[in-house]
Structure 1
């Protein structure tokens, strides 16, 4: 079970009792995880995805004929669960088929933790470049290479211990993940040692939002944004991970974003759910908190065939609301990248009218019959506006962004998308990194394929993937690296 009463795990049980408890939990798990047939694709294990310093296993699912440029969603199970459990019960496969994206399911085992928990409480395993966190990033890199994925649309979600690791990953790798969803989980870096885990689960840590925000900022020093968009799901009757954790998470991520801790708006959703929305400076939701009245510890699902229904009930899969559906919509995965089914023509004359180090301004020609316009950044909906111009804010400096615009009629149907335009924000200062190929991959600056190492972005061959070959990489724009052995900046 997710985060299975870790207080009991950390208490002074006798060796015999501990072994009996672990044996009972593990007896309900299959000794191996089979490949499972899916609606249009295949759920399967990937046996080679990198050096795997965290000793994790990788499973994946993608719809058949997934086009290049699709997003990637990483989904982490809870304690005593498996990748198969999460794939079968969470509902994410339904939306991968419906909206078109790849799924990665990391899996840990009792070899790492007696209860098969992700180690969200261990700074040697849940920090940037280390242990399980580094293994997950290697899985992401493998999936991006395999599917030709959009590296600007990578997201991570998790339940319980998987949610604790999700929060850590968002803080460790804000340059990798565009968004995350923490389901019945903990704030990023709440615990740095196993002995602190129980206190995090059940107690108010009495930290200010700024102190929580510092834990995010200190996880990747020097990073200044944009920050991932974070969904927080919490049951009010959770006695395993107390609801105070959701309050701390909201304070942590609104502070990281530099926005108010007071919700911009609230609304009621199915299943006794209250959604609190915290907008960024441009009026777009940056953090969303979903509080589910009366729900105990688990992942909220809602079995059924409607678009907003998903998943299967079971141990720690609770029938309230389809959290995966609302999370996918929050991330913009339902928007696609090629417009909708409406009859309106694509806007013409889309042009970049200005850039700063954190913003891009656009304009376009009006479309007859349009009630509004949807603006897409890197294929994900960034805004809706009734104007024929828009300024996108909160962007990374020195970074190229692709934009399209689609007209929306009065009934909400989205027309064809415009031709894409690319805008590059100003002010990026090149950075240089000299180390061996193994460390370059672990730090997220390079990836591996067929035993060789390749620079992210430029895809230049750096030689064999080992600790003996050393290169200098220059980051010429965010996430784009070139070999600069002859001098840096090149």
Structure 2
């Protein structure tokens, strides 16, 4: 027993130092000196797309002296940080439209005061852990104090884990996936200290298209929307239409309905995106801003890595900012400024996560 507990302490120490391969070796009964082959495997795992959740050990809570794996069975991740403890754990929402798991990140140092909430909708083939790693949104949550929710789209709902943005039944209020996402948002509002006037939704690719749908169908729930490499609500109504819209935007014959109520929206899109044509970014921002009474201001910049961008800010008749559109030169179908720890990211671009958070936090839900 003493040897076992010593191994657990050693594994915990290595985990906190980020030496996950060595920690797993100790737990399997080996030495903390991992072999070159094990280290290479660990590096390949970290460089890949979805990474396996690491083991987070929790001290014994009873007389047995047994340490437990906080990740089991729901994949709960707790990380000790100065000023408090953050948590990243699975929850489930159930309603008439079905059920979905989601991961909720609670920032370190939260003192119980109501905080903003950002709902992050991943892209195809991604997972909550992968999307969190690639966007680094949890790091920003610790810095600026807000909750982050990551709904999980299972393969049972879509073989590629895509949100079904192209189905008419998933483009309406109080039906299908919009109902599920709204229900889990409301569940978080009910169960946690969330500022109801500062709730936001964002997504990448299929998740970006789903975020556009949430802004169009639940303008009374979300104060602002973020769309990265996505499409407008209603850009397609079936699978063939989805592939067509991804290549060339919604067809001219299919007039996109403008949002009945303007929800401030920020759009990021790379001009080299060959998966979702950049014209979809144009259509998404037009739909969200309502069209009439809009003036714009254009600015340009370049990142230290040489990626140029154009930022168009939109204002309503009261001179309130209602939208931003960022066109990124040389960026493909990837989260701009993201981390290589996640899939579909391009670290060279402007930091989309930071810009989304900045844009979100300057908006509150309109009365």
TM-score by length of 2: 0.73
Secondary structure of the 1:197 match is: helix
Shift of 1:151: 1.2
Secondary structure of the 1:177 match is: coil
Alignment correspondent of 1:35: 76
Shift of 1:211: 3.9
TM-aligned CA distance change 1:33 to 1:251, over 3 Å: same
Matches within 5 A, 1:439-478: none
Task: Find out whether 1:56 has 2:56 as its counterpart.
Answer: no
Secondary structure of the 2:232 match is: coil
Alignment correspondent of 1:444: none
Describe the superposition over 1:164-205 as per-residue Cα deviations: whole angstroms up to 9, x where unpaired. 100011001011111011000001121122231101101143
Secondary structure of the 2:148 match is: strand
Task: Find out whether 1:317 has 2:345 as its counterpart.
Answer: yes
Alignment correspondent of 1:267: 300
In 1: Cα distance, 2:94 partner to 2:227 partner: 26
Unaligned runs of 5+ in 1: 1-26, 218-224, 303-310, 333-379, 383-394, 400-490
Describe the superposition over 1:194-249 as per-residue Cα deviations: whole angstroms up to 9, x where unpaired. 231101101143549x943x2533xxxxxxx4x21100000010000011111111
Secondary structure of the 2:107 match is: coil
Is the contact between residue 301 and residue 308 of structure 2 (CA under 8 Å) also seen in structure 1? yes
Shift of 1:331: 1.6
Secondary structure of the 1:277 match is: strand
Secondary structure of the 1:245 match is: helix
Secondary structure of the 1:124 match is: helix
Matches within 5 A, 1:137-152: 137-152=182-197
Shift of 1:34: 2.7
Describe the superposition over 1:365-411 as per-residue Cα deviations: whole angstroms up to 9, x where unpaired. xxxxxxxxxxxxxxx568xxxxxxxxxxxx95xx4xxxxxxxxxxxx
Matches within 5 A, 1:473-488: none
In 2: Cα distance, 1:167 partner to 1:258 partner: 19
Alignment correspondent of 1:153: 198
1:200 to 239, 245, 268: 245
Is the contact between residue 209 and residue 231 of structure 2 (CA under 8 Å) also seen in structure 1? yes
Task: Find out whether 1:177 has 2:177 as its counterpart.
Answer: no
TM-aligned CA distance change 1:327 to 1:295, over 3 Å: same
In 1: Cα distance, 2:151 partner to 2:297 partner: 34
Shift of 1:30: 6.1
Shift of 1:107: 0.5
Task: Find out whether 1:118 has 2:163 as its counterpart.
Answer: yes
Shift of 1:152: 1.3
TM-aligned CA distance change 1:191 to 1:205, over 3 Å: closer
Is the contact between residue 50 and residue 127 of structure 2 (CA under 8 Å) also seen in structure 1? no
In 1: Cα distance, 2:292 partner to 2:218 partner: 18
Shift of 1:66: 4.6
In 1: Cα distance, 2:159 partner to 2:202 partner: 22
TM-aligned CA distance change 1:134 to 1:318, over 3 Å: same
Aligned length: 291
What is the RMSD of the two structures over their aligned residues, measured on CA atoms? 2.6
Shift of 1:312: 3.9
Unaligned runs of 5+ in 2: 1-48, 54-72
2:312 to 248, 251, 276: 276
2:326 to 277, 290, 294: 290
In 2: Cα distance, 1:92 partner to 1:174 partner: 23
In 1: Cα distance, 2:333 partner to 2:74 partner: 25
Task: Find out whether 1:247 has 2:290 as its counterpart.
Answer: no
TM-score by length of 1: 0.55
Is the contact between residue 76 and residue 162 of structure 1 (CA under 8 Å) also seen in structure 2? yes
